[in-house]
Every structure is written in structure tokens, then in C-alpha cells.
Amino acid sequence: MNEVLEVRPDITVSADCRNADGAPFLAWLSRRPRFSGKVIVEWYTYFHEDGFKFVKDVEQQNPASSWRRIPQMPVLFPDQLWPLAERLLGIAPSLSYTMLKAGGQAFIDSVLSQRMRVESIGFIFSGAGKYIDRNTGTVTLPSGLILTDAKLALFFLTDRVLMDLAISLKQQRPAIIIAGINRSYDWAIVDNELDRYIGRFTLDGTSVPWPSDATRIVREMLATPGAVPLDILNWVTADRPREVISALVHREMGLFYTGSHIDQKFDVKRTSRGGSASTPGTSFGYHFDLPTN
């Protein structure tokens, strides 16, 4: 950070703190006033479960008394909506639109009530939520087919919930930056022009393939520049920023632009011996551990 800010003292560094790193890093930052106002700390709900827990986690790290003035960006993931509802509201696990939205809103409220400098809140959605009717739960795929698998429909429902939470927050608290992502796949092995085996990295570092079912639409939209609803977002963290900027410029001109989820710099040809080489890319992924009841 010293080197970056020496070259560009006018920018803000976004520190993407994975796992349980958010609170220790923010406490560390608070003891280094030279970075004051220059760094925004991103943290996730997987370990810092809500605003109350985050405050507790930070205060256990011996921060400076001014730590609450450090800019923050908590990030809300789809698979955290019902655990948040259960933990913060005492709601029995269910998968209704109302319950999932209540869980997300409770998290937002828990963060904003802590007198911290919350500059931004991140929402991980792709825009695939537009394919679900929030009242009936019916998912109509781009092909016109109706998705009948309730577990698969959950990916579209949580996407819709996060879109609506972001829109609501933007209307009620316009000073808060609404952040999202345009995330490419991590790597791919290409057998031919049609077959791509695309993987992602989970929190434990293992890689799993992208789904081959209807939820692939969610993944592909998240990876496609211009597909994520840019009109909702103020800030986009992008693996392919030039193409996202192009989509934004087109939108300003009243034109619609969307690229492709395929990014050849992450593609590796299978060798003639049947083996393969891989090129590591960025890491992102989530999965659903469904409630048992």
C-alpha cells in the first residue's frame, strides 16, 4: 500500500479481506494513521457474521480508539441470507422471499447501527433474479422453459432478493455506495470450441466445476461484462474492467451492450496425451447448505 499510495496518493485502496481477516486488518490499519481515509476494508459475513459480531471481533484486536472512522464495505452473499434471518431475527429456516429479504435487511441494519464509517455495502448478484416472479417463485428461463426444481430456483430467488435489497438501500441511503462484482471463472480446460470445463475456488481452496444445470445462467451472467445490472450499482469490482467500462459507456449513450462470459486468457488447451495445464485466475464461489427444516 505504501508503494501504491506513493505513486497515486489520490486513490482509495480496496482491501479485500477474506475469511476472518477483516477485523484484524482493520485494527492493524487503525494503528497506522498514514493510511487514514486511503483504504476501504471489505469484509464478509462468513466469519464476521453481522455488525455486532464485527465490532466484537475488531475490539478483541486492540485497535486504536478511532477505528470506527475507517471506511468499510461489508459484503452480503446469497447463501448467507437465511442464516442471518435465523441468527438475527430468530426466524425458523425457510426459503421464502420474505424471510430471505428479512435476513439480508437485518444484516444491513446491524451494520448501520454500529456508528461505523460504512462507505459501501457489497451485494453479490448477477441479475438472474429478473427471471423469477418474487410472488409465485416461478422461474422462467431465457429459453421460455419453466424451472421446476425448487433447489435450483433458490439461486434465482436469492439473486432477486439481493437486487431488491440493493435497490431499497440505494433509495433510502443514497450516500452509501452500492457495490457489486463482475467475476470471471477461475480457469477452464477447452477440449474443443463447444466443451469448456470451468472451475471456481471455494473458501478451502479446492476447485469444483461450474454447474451444468439451469443455475449455470447465474454464473455466466456474473462473469459477463454488461450482464450485471449496472444501473443498480455505483461501484463494480471487475476481473475484466475494460469491458465493463465499455458497457457503462454504451449505457450512457442509450445503447445496450453485453459481452461474453468466455475469457480466453483463463482457457487452457488439453494436451495430446490427455493431460492439461491450468492457469490460476481469481477466486470466487458460493454454495448453498440448505436448512434442514
Q: What is the pLDDT of residue 262?
A: 83
Number of structural domains in the chain: 1
Q: CA-to-CA distance for 214 and 91, rounded, in angstroms?
A: 29
pLDDT of residue 203: 63
Tell me how far apart the alpha carbons of residues 84 and 162 are, in angstroms, rounded to a whole number. Answer: 13
Rounded to whole angstroms, how far apart are CA atoms 139 and 136?
A: 9
pLDDT of the residue at 291: 46
* Residue 203 included in any domain: no
What is the full DSSP assignment across 176-198?
SEEEEEE---SEEEESSSS-EEE
Taking 70 as the threshold, does the pLDDT of residue 274 lie above it?
A: no
166/105 Cα distance (integer angstroms):
10
Has residue 42 been placed in a domain?
yes
CATH of the domain at 69: 3.20.20
Q: Is residue 123 part of a domain?
A: yes
Average pLDDT, the chain: 85
- The predicted model gives 78-104 an average pLDDT of 87
Q: Identify the domain containing residue 234 by its residue range.
A: 2-185+215-255
Q: Would you say residue 76 lies in a domain?
A: yes
| Nearest CA-CA partner of 213 in 259, 276, 282, 148 | 148
Burial class of residue 167 (count of CB atoms within 10 Å of its CB; 0-12, 13-18, 19+): middle
Q: According to the 3-state scheme, what is the secondary structure of 230-293?
A: CCCCCEEEECCHHHHHHHHHHHHCCCCCCCCCCCHHHEEECCCCCCCCCCCCCCCCCCCCCCCC
Distance, CA of 159 to CA of 166 (rounded, Å): 11
Buried b (16+ CB within 10 A) or exposed e, 107-125: bbebbbebebebbbbbbbb
Q: What does the pLDDT look like over 126-161, one tens digit per residue?
A: 999 999 999 899 999 999 999 999 889 999 999 999
- pLDDT tops 80 at residue 207: no
Structure pTM?
A: 0.86
- Give percent of the chain above pLDDT 70: 84
- Whether 177 maps to a domain, the answer reads yes
Q: Per-residue pLDDT tens for 225-238?
A: 888 888 899 999 88
Mean predicted confidence (pLDDT) in 106-132: 96
**Residue 59 lies inside a defined structural domain of this protein:** yes
Q: What is the mean pLDDT of residues 165-189?
A: 90
Of 172, 200, 159, nearest in space to 76 by CA: 159
Q: Is the pLDDT of residue 283 over 50?
A: no
List the one residue out of 116, 125, 139 whose CA is nearest residue 53.
116
Domain-embedded: residue 202? no
* Spatial separation of the C-alpha atoms in residues 2 and 9, rounded to whole Å: 9
pLDDT score at 248: 85
194 inside domain: no
What pLDDT does 270 receive?
A: 52
33: nearest Cα among 5, 1, 64: 64
Phi, then psi, of 198 in degrees rounded to 5: -105, 135
pLDDT for 45-61, tens place per residue? Answer: 989 999 999 999 999 99
- Residue 241: what pLDDT? 87
Q: What is the pLDDT of residue 18?
A: 84
